[in-house]
């Protein structure tokens, strides 16, 4: 039995849609006080309303994580509203496909700013509060793309997701003195609005390459996040959990044909 996390203050960047919404719903369902950070008000408001109508507690902050100053604002908002920061889920991310030949400095900077820099600055901004919590947790949403696999069009995205893990390993050592853990989840293909935008053909192709035979759900990722946030996961830091239905395992597509 896990110690309840009810009443803990949880920030979920990108919590208005997709995986982040799943994480926000899951933590709020466990009784946490959730602060969602995103730019689009309609989606953020809808997610907060959904959580509240299910009896949970959530609020939103509209901000652009590409702006370095947003990190201080999200930490201040959580402290102002909930008086503490127990868990920081750095989940917001973008994955605009661009073939390497067409890659520009601006496109690289855009992806790195949201996927990597904002996570690093958010951890820094929340660190004092996470230390005061005495069980502070940071959970990064990385990806199998970059750390383990590759996919045409996502060289910049893959680099950003691998960079998160480079950050994680040194951060875990530095944060250990503050008794704060930091871990990453590496989702495979999770059915979200962002993934749906990639088209039916992409979704069909991905589904056929997953041993467990289905795309992941946002809850699949959220449950891993909830575990990493628990008191019982307090001795795990600097680690990664792959949540991909076994997608990275087959040596070739023929391995699945053998089944």
Q: Which residues have a catalytic role annotated?
A: 157
Instruction: Calculate the CA 235 to chain-centre distance.
Output: 20
Q: Does 178 bind ligand NAP (CB under 6 A)?
A: no
Q: Does 130 bind ligand NAP (CB under 6 A)?
A: no
Number of neighbours of residue 32 by Cβ within 10 angstroms = 26
Residue 238: CB minimum distance to ligand NAP, A: 19
Q: Does 192 bind ligand NAP (CB under 6 A)?
A: yes
Query: Contacts with ligand NAP in 14-33 (CB under 6 A)?
Result: 14, 16-20
Given 45, 59, 66, 72, the residue binding ligand NAP (CB under 6 A): 66
Q: 16, 47 in Cβ contact below 8 A?
A: yes
Given 9, 23, 82, 93, the residue binding ligand NAP (CB under 6 A): 93
Residue whose C-alpha is closest to residue 186's, from 231, 143, 237, 250: 143
Q: Does 167 bind ligand NAP (CB under 6 A)?
A: no
Residues 6+ apart with CB under 8 A from 122: 11, 13, 65, 71, 74, 75, 88, 90
Residues 6+ apart with CB under 8 A from 116: 160, 163, 164, 167
Q: Does 95 bind ligand NAP (CB under 6 A)?
A: yes
Quote helix, strand, coil % in the chain, to nearest 5: 50, 15, 35
Residue 59: CB minimum distance to ligand NAP, A: 15
Which residues contact ligand NAP by CB under 6 A? 14, 16-20, 37-40, 43, 64-66, 91-95, 114, 141, 143, 187, 189-190, 192-195
């Amino acid at each position: 039995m896990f110690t309840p996390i009810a009443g803990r203050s949880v920030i979920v960047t990108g919590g208005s849609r997709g995986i982040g919404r799943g994480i926000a719903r899951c933590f709020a369902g466990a009784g946490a006080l959730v602060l969602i950070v995103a730019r689009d008000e309609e989606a953020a408001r809808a997610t907060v309303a959904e959580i509240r109508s299910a009896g949970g507690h959530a609020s939103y902050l509209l901000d652009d994580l590409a702006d370095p100053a947003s990190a201080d604002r999200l930490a201040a908002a959580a402290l102002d509203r909930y008086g503490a920061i127990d868990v920081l889920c750095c989940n917001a991310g973008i994955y605009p496909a661009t073939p390497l030949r067409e890659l520009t400095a601006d496109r690289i900077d855009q992806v790195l700013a949201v996927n990597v820099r904002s996570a690093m600055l958010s951890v820094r901004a929340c660190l004092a509060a996470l230390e005061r919590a005495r069980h502070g947790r940071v959970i990064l949403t990385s990806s199998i793309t970059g750390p383990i696999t590759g996919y045409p069009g996502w060289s910049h995205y893959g680099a950003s997701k691998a960079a998160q893990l480079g950050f994680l390993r040194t951060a875990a050592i530095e944060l250990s003195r503050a008794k704060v853990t930091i871990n990453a989840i590496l989702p495979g293909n999770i059915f979200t609005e962002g993934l749906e935008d990639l088209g039916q053909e992409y979704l069909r192709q991905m589904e056929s390459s997953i041993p467990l035979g289905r795309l992941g759900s946002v809850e699949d990722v959220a449950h891993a996040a909830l575990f990493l946030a628990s008191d019982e996961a307090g001795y795990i830091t600097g680690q990664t959990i792959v949540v991909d239905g076994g997608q990275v395992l087959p040596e070739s597509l023929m391995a699945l044909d053998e089944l």
